[in-house]
Structure 1
């Protein structure tokens, strides 16, 4: 099933600043995508993330959808799509990239899969992600996440 119309609508609504933008409709479209799509939709979902949104819960819903799809479908392929989307996201969604990395780091299965992915993707993308992880390590995060970052940096 092609979700391009839904993605286009979500993209137009992502800032929640226009007349007719409705968070309920936004969430319903994401739910439809979550239930009926596959992991190949993840790069399109990543384009919806923006740091400068009027309603941050919009981006939280997008991230929840990405991780729901990752858990329900092919986790490795889903995280590979996330990883390869990171460089494009850093320009306008740096905060959400950090949030995605925190969620990956808080799940041992995701962290292990992500470490493997980072060894197999384009080395330029891996370097961008590693720089972001080093930056995240300097933020106030818990000791477990610091150890997970060190593991990712060492193994990729």
Structure 2
């Protein structure tokens, strides 16, 4: 895990007020986290997202970091940690939650089964949170069905398969 001080510094830097020096430092820290962090840092990265606080370009870099870590550390494990971090996005970072889920839908491919892994991990969350995530995905599907209908349907299918098989449970305590 990266130095806790780096994560704390990132958290304090979320509101950069257009300061390019801070944005460069933020990006440098994210680069270090990309290379050294384990998947267990993903909930901490989610915690940094807030609709009214974080600079949009910094948030985009932060979201990309989550996917880079997932590719490096393994999608199944990373999606379990993402499922732990996502509940904290609602309602304070709902806009970023939608963007994160849109990115997740785009990232899914045969050699990177994000949808199935995330569906299994989300199954272990409290039902209220699962409903929020499904509602966010259904809204994405409603707005752009030509891009997302099949992928959202695959997510809901993966979620139902997890429910039917008793799927892996995600521990929601840290």
Same fold (TM over 0.5): yes
TM-score by length of 2: 0.79
> How far 1:127 sits from its partner (Å)?
2.6
> How far 1:76 sits from its partner (Å)?
1.0
Q: What secondary structure does 1:51 align onto? A: coil
**Partner of residue 130, structure 1:** 134
- Counterparts of 1:56 and 1:155, CA distance in 2: 31
TM-aligned CA distance change 1:36 to 1:137, over 3 Å:
same
Aligned residues: 154
> How far 1:19 sits from its partner (Å)?
7.5
Q: How does 1:78-117 map to 2 (within 5 A)?
A: 78-106=78-106, 107-108=108-109, 109-117=113-121
- Counterparts of 1:54 and 1:40, CA distance in 2: 22
- Counterparts of 1:20 and 1:103, CA distance in 2: 26
CA contact (8 A) 1:17 1:54 kept: no
TM-score by length of 1: 0.87
CA contact (8 A) 1:40 1:78 kept: yes
CA contact (8 A) 1:11 1:48 kept: yes
Q: What secondary structure does 1:155 align onto? A: helix
- Counterparts of 2:132 and 2:92, CA distance in 1: 15
CA deviation map 1:92-147 (0-9, x unaligned)? 2111111111111112321122223233x1242323311222222222x2524111
CA deviation map 1:5-35 (0-9, x unaligned)? 0111111110113979610000001111110
Runs of 4 or more consecutive aligned structure 1 residues displaced over 6 Å after TM superposition: 18-21
**Partner of residue 35, structure 1:** 35
Q: Which runs of 5+ in 2 are unaligned?
A: 160-174
